[in-house]
C-alpha cells in the first residue's frame, strides 16, 4: 500500500522519465548553442583566452611578432598561401587588390610575421600615408593556427605600429566572402567607409576604417 497523499509508483516513474528526457533535450540544445557561440567568437578572436584549450586540442600559444622582409622565405610562402586562398574564393582578378611581394617592397610596406613555437603562423603589413592614415596589407593566418587569437594579436601590433608613427586613422580593404576577417575587423572597432585612395566602388570589395586614439 502507498502512503496517503503520495502518487502511484507508475506516475513517479513517468515523471522521472519526463524529467530525464526533458533534461537531456535541454542539455543537447545547450551543447549545440555553446558550440555555435564558440565557433562565432573564435572567428572574432574573442573566445580564446590564455590557458583555454582550442578546438584541435592544442593549448593557445602566445605569438611572437617579428619584422620580416616580404621576400623572406617564410613571409613569401604566407603571401603565396593567401593568394591561393583568395584565388579559390571566386573573386575576379580586377577585384583582387593585394600587393605582390615586389609591390610590398617597392611601396615600403612595414611587414611582420607571427611565430608560434618557432613556426611561421601568419603575417600582416601596414603602409603609412604620412599622418593622414595607415592601411593594413596582406593579413593572413594559416589554417592550423586559426582560432587562437593570432589575427587579433597582429591587428593590435599593426595598430600600435601605425599609432607610434603618427597615423590618426587605420584603413583596410577586404573581400565580401571573408566572413571571419570581417567579424574580426568589426569587433576591433572598424566601420564601413567609402572608397579611398586608388579604390573604386567594387561589389566584391569592402572598405573599413578605425580612428586610432
| Domain count along the chain | 1
Q: Could you tell me what percent of the chain has a pLDDT over 90?
A: 69
**pLDDT by residue (tens digit) across 69-121?**
999 999 999 999 999 999 999 999 999 999 999 999 999 999 999 999 899 99
Assess contact for 75 and 123: CB atoms under 8 A. yes
Is residue 26 domain-resident? Answer: no
Per-residue pLDDT, 5: 56
Helix segments in 45-149, DSSP class H: 73-87, 101-106
Is residue 57 domain-resident? Answer: no
Assess contact for 146 and 179: CB atoms under 8 A. no
- Chain-centroid distance of CA 57 in Å reads 19
Assess contact for 189 and 210: CB atoms under 8 A. yes
Residues forming beta bridges with residue 120, ordered by sequence position: 115
**pLDDT by residue (tens digit) across 129-165?**
999 999 999 999 999 999 999 999 999 999 999 999 9
Distances in Å between the Cα of 90 and the Cα atoms of 86, 96, 115, 177, 178 are 7, 10, 29, 9, 12
- Chain-centroid distance of CA 173 in Å reads 15
Is residue 23 domain-resident? Answer: no
The domain of 129 spans 64-211
Is residue 72 domain-resident? Answer: yes
CATH number at residue 138: 3.40.630.30
Is residue 14 domain-resident? Answer: no
Place of cell 528526457: 21
Question: In the structure grid, which three cell numbers stand for residue 176, read together?
Answer: 565580401
Q: What is the pTM of this model?
A: 0.73
Is residue 54 domain-resident? Answer: no
Is residue 16 domain-resident? Answer: no
Is residue 95 domain-resident? Answer: yes
Amino acid at each position: 500500500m502507498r502512503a496517503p497523499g503520495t502518487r502511484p509508483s507508475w506516475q513517479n516513474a513517468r515523471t522521472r522519465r519526463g524529467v530525464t528526457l526533458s533534461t537531456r533535450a535541454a542539455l543537447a540544445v545547450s551543447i549545440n548553442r555553446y558550440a555555435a557561440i564558440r565557433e562565432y567568437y573564435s572567428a572574432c578572436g574573442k573566445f580564446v583566452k590564455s590557458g583555454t584549450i582550442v578546438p584541435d586540442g592544442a593549448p593557445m600559444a602566445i605569438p611572437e611578432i617579428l619584422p620580416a622582409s616580404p621576400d623572406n622565405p617564410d613571409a613569401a610562402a604566407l603571401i603565396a598561401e593567401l593568394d591561393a586562398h583568395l584565388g579559390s574564393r571566386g573573386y575576379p582578378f580586377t577585384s583582387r587588390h593585394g600587393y605582390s611581394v615586389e609591390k610590398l617592397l617597392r611601396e615600403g610596406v612595414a611587414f611582420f610575421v607571427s611565430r608560434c613555437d618557432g613556426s611561421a603562423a601568419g603575417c600582416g603589413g601596414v603602409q603609412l600615408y604620412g599622418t593622414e592614415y595607415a592601411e593594413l596589407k596582406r593579413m593572413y593566418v594559416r589554417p592550423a593556427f586559426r582560432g587562437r587569437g593570432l589575427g587579433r594579436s597582429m591587428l593590435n601590433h599593426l595598430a600600435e605600429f601605425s599609432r607610434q608613427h603618427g597615423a590618426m586613422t587605420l584603413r583596410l580593404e577586404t573581400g565580401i566572402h571573408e566572413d571571419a576577417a570581417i567579424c574580426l575587423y568589426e569587433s576591433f572597432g572598424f566601420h564601413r567607409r567609402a572608397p579611398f585612395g586608388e579604390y573604386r566602388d567594387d561589389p566584391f570589395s569592402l572598405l573599413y576604417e578605425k580612428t586610432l586614439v
